[in-house]
Amino acid sequence: MIDIKFLRENPDVVKENIKKKFQDNKLPLVDEVIELDKKSREAKGKADALRANRNKLSKQIGGLFAQGKREEAEELKAQVTAQGEELAALEAQEAEFSAKVTEIMMTIPNIIDDVVPIGKDDSENVEVERFGEPVVPDYEIPYHTDIMESFDGIDLESARKVAGNGFYYLMGDIARVHSAVIAYARDFMINRGFTYCVPPFMIRGGVVTGVMSFAEMDAMMYKIEGEDLYLIGTSEHSMIGKFIDTMVKEEELPKTLTSYSPCFRKEKGAHGIEERGVYRIHQFEKQEMIVVCKPEDSKMWFDKLWQNTVDLFRSLDIPVRTLECCSGDLADLKVRSIDVEAWSPRQKKYFEVGSCSNLGDAQARRLKIRVKGKDGKYFAHTLNNTVVAPPRMLIAFLENNLNADGTVSIPEALRPYMGGQELLEVKK
């Protein structure tokens, strides 16, 4: 959420930013919120003046009673009572205008970084850099669920009966690889100085609206019926929520946390043929990383975070590339985002396996995450990034480590988490 003072002083900048995000329908909101903010401040000013006058009259009333001037005191009391009714009306106006301002401000997109390319959707994202040499073997790479089935490693049919489409049972060696990847990612991030955390897997509505836009909330979140609780779509939600309504000492920053959680997502919309199997699902597990830092440090941390994901995938011999997300592909709270994509030798192209985002002070402003520094108080900056999400990671892992005979080689870094196993042997 943008600072209302910034919007008030820079309406043209905010409007130009809205245009860059191809959300022209929101342009009238800028003028509307400025007018509502003006009315709110006017009501507050009148209310403050009225309170000051009432306090002054109240002191005079006490003095008049002390002097025995009861009649004059009663006249002033009547004025105070009348002003009380006027004050209540002004306070109601102020609250109404202020609430409308907040509601609109939460729909106006954050100011994007100058380096963000301008484009309408993810088709206009820009490749930044490649890491590792993509290889296409001279033998066929089956679809990922076919590879898993050769190890008796997945049961989609039973999952459909139990929970419907978008769910799965992972079995045997494939399930073990899944857990090994999560454990390896946990230790990888701990070794990089991050504090490990297992967060709540449900959060209240106030945290949901603090960490994401209304559009994201509608498209992603599952609500618990009859309760003010939502299943998390990523542990970033509860990890950032951990700092809600807090005043952090500047010397305690940065807060660097890595977290494990299951994730639950509606995944609305049509899915292509390449998104069946375990690519786009309603439930999965993930290792995440978040940072709460000083504003001047957020760009530095942004680069560190996406590099962590690149380094993890490269340590498992998986080629990856980074993409700078264009303006139209950024969620409203994001200042900047870089996607990490893994190489698919079967498709002969890259596919998304993680996303790193800098949200500036948008989440902190909504959740009131403040920092107490030597020069005063200010809002922190928040960042998040996927370390690894094994369902998609499994696709990249299996395709890039599949041998001609159908076995799958286990990279050296992962072997300690697989009991020393070096190879997955075909079961059928």
What are the distances in angstroms from CA 309 to CA 34, 44, 179?
Answer: 42, 49, 18
A 10 A CB-CB count for 390 gives 24
Residue 259 predicted with pLDDT over 90:
yes
For CATH 1.10.287.40, list the domain ranges present in the chain: 4-105
For CATH 3.30.930.10, list the domain ranges present in the chain: 122-424
Query: What's CA 19's distance to the chain center, in Å?
Result: 23
Which residues, including other chains, have CB under 8 Å from residue 35's CB and lie 6 or more apart? Answer: none
Contact criterion met (CB below 8 Å) for 297 and 254: yes
CA distance 32 to 183: 50
| DSSP per-residue string spanning 358-390 | E-TTHHHHHHTEEEEETTEEEEPEEEEEEEE-H
Strands 222-223 and 230-231: antiparallel
pTM of the shown model:
0.89
Report pLDDT for 218.
Answer: 81
Question: Domain 4-105: which CATH class?
Answer: mainly alpha
**Mean pLDDT, rounded, for 322-327:** 98
Confidence of residue 270 (pLDDT cuts 50, 70, 90): very low
Of residues 278 and 356, more confidently modeled: 356
Architecture of domain 122-424: 2-Layer Sandwich (3.30)
Residue 143 predicted with pLDDT over 90:
yes
- Tens of pLDDT, residues 147-168: 999 999 999 999 999 999 889 9
- Tens of pLDDT, residues 53-87: 776 766 676 666 667 777 776 676 676 676 677 77
For residue 361, which of 275, 243, 278 has the smallest C-alpha distance? Answer: 243
Query: What's CA 369's distance to the chain center, in Å?
Result: 15
